[in-house]
């Protein structure tokens, strides 16, 4: 089974690569659209040793991390407060769900008015994007908690903060992690889009700069490196989540 899976993967990879190469050399597409994979690889190698690239990368990583952390904290607190209060939850639900499905990028103009055109507005964009999936996941997770647990804690005269620490947080690990994974994804999208629209640094800015100067191979190289970074971040999150779930928080 494992070997077959590997075989299928290798075969798919080779087929995709061959298709790309054939498309690049066939001349069906305009030469600039699909550059040969070797050009892209060479460009990736060049970026990997270029300190300028790391400057862009550091800016994007910084914006995503700070934005994601802010969004996560606010989302977690908001989700717990909403979940603990059925009335507030019902009242806020339509607004929350309506805003959650709205593409956050359109708020970028407002955020730029508020936080300026520098990294501030990108961080705000990331935080704003990461907030919604988390607050919804946590509020939904709160409603899944067995009321018995809460009643037992109340019976032992636990204060609200104690209930949060000993009942809510341990049972919220799984839904919060789901929300955080979604949140990280949309935070990355938000930050990159904001960088593309208006920025002087960052991976999004670098990619679009290459596009504007029609350095298509370079653009693909930056895109692939960015994808790799995003996939890596997601994998780290998943791994961290697995560790947390295996060893439940002992109170």
Partner 1 sequence: MLGGAYENWIAALFSAPLILLYPMFLVVFGRTPAVCIAMGFLVGIIPVILKTREGFMDVKPVLVNVARSYGAGDAEILRTVLLPAARPAIFTGLRLCLIYAMINVVGIEFLANLGGLGFLVGEMFDRYDIPAMYAALICLILTSALFYTLTGRAERWLGGR
Q: What share of the chain is helix, strand, coil (3-state, %, to 5)?
A: 85, 0, 15
Q: Shortest Cβ distance from residue 242 to partner 1 (Å)?
A: 14
Residue 62, phi then psi, degrees to nearest 5: -60, -50
19 vs 249, which CB is nearer to partner 1?
A: 19
55 vs 103, which CB is nearer to partner 1?
A: 103
Distances 87 to 7, 93, 114, 171 between C-alpha atoms, Å? 54, 10, 32, 21
Task: Summarize as ranges the residues that interact with partner 1 (CB under 8 A).
Answer: 1, 4-5, 8-9, 12, 29-30, 32-33, 94, 97-110, 112-113, 181-182, 184-186, 188-189, 192-193, 196-197, 204, 207-208, 211, 219, 223, 226-227, 230-231, 233-235
CA distance 203 to 201: 7
Report the chain's terminal Cα–Cα distance, integer Å.
41
Q: What tokens appear for 134 in the block?
A: 């988390």
100 vs 169, which CB is nearer to partner 1?
A: 100
CA distance 246 to 101: 32
Q: What tokens appear for 107 in the block?
A: 């708020």
Q: Shortest Cβ distance from residue 59 to partner 1 (Å)?
A: 16
Q: Shortest Cβ distance from residue 171 to partner 1 (Å)?
A: 20
Instruction: Return the closest-CA partner of residue 206 out of 224, 232, 186.
Output: 224
CA distance 214 to 209: 8
Q: Shortest Cβ distance from residue 228 to partner 1 (Å)?
A: 8
Q: What tokens appear for 171 in the block?
A: 């049972």
Q: Shortest Cβ distance from residue 167 to partner 1 (Å)?
A: 26
103 vs 162, which CB is nearer to partner 1?
A: 103
1 vs 243, which CB is nearer to partner 1?
A: 1
- For residues 129 and 71, is the Cβ–Cβ distance under 8 A? yes
How many residues make up the chain in this entry? Answer: 251
Q: Shortest Cβ distance from residue 211 to partner 1 (Å)?
A: 4
Q: Shortest Cβ distance from residue 214 to partner 1 (Å)?
A: 10
152 vs 235, which CB is nearer to partner 1?
A: 235
CA 193 to chain centroid, in Å, comes to: 12
21 vs 150, which CB is nearer to partner 1?
A: 21
């Amino acid at each position: 089974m494992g070997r077959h899976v590997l075989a299928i993967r290798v075969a798919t990879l080779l087929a995709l690569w061959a298709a790309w190469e054939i498309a690049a050399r066939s001349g069906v597409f305009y030469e600039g659209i699909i550059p040969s994979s070797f050009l892209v690889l060479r460009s990736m190698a060049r970026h990997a040793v270029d300190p300028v690239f790391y400057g862009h990368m550091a800016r994007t990583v910084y914006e995503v991390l700070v934005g994601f952390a802010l969004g996560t904290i606010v989302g977690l607190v908001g989700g717990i407060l909403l979940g603990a209060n059925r009335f507030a939850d019902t009242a806020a639900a339509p607004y929350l769900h309506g805003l959650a499905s709205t593409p956050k990028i359109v708020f970028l103009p407002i955020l730029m008015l508020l936080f300026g055109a520098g990294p501030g507005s990108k961080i705000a964009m990331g935080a704003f994007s990461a907030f919604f999936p988390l607050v919804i996941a946590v509020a939904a997770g709160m409603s899944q908690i067995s009321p018995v647990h809460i009643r037992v804690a109340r019976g032992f005269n636990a204060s609200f903060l104690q209930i949060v620490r000993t009942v809510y947080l341990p049972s919220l690990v799984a839904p919060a992690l789901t929300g955080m994974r979604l949140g990280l994804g949309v935070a990355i999208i938000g930050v990159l889009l904001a960088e593309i629209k208006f920025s002087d640094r960052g991976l999004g800015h670098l990619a679009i700069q290459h596009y504007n100067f029609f350095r298509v191979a370079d653009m693909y190289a930056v895109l692939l490196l960015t994808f790799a970074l995003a996939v890596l971040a997601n994998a780290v999150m998943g791994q961290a989540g697995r560790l947390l779930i295996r060893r439940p928080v002992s109170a």
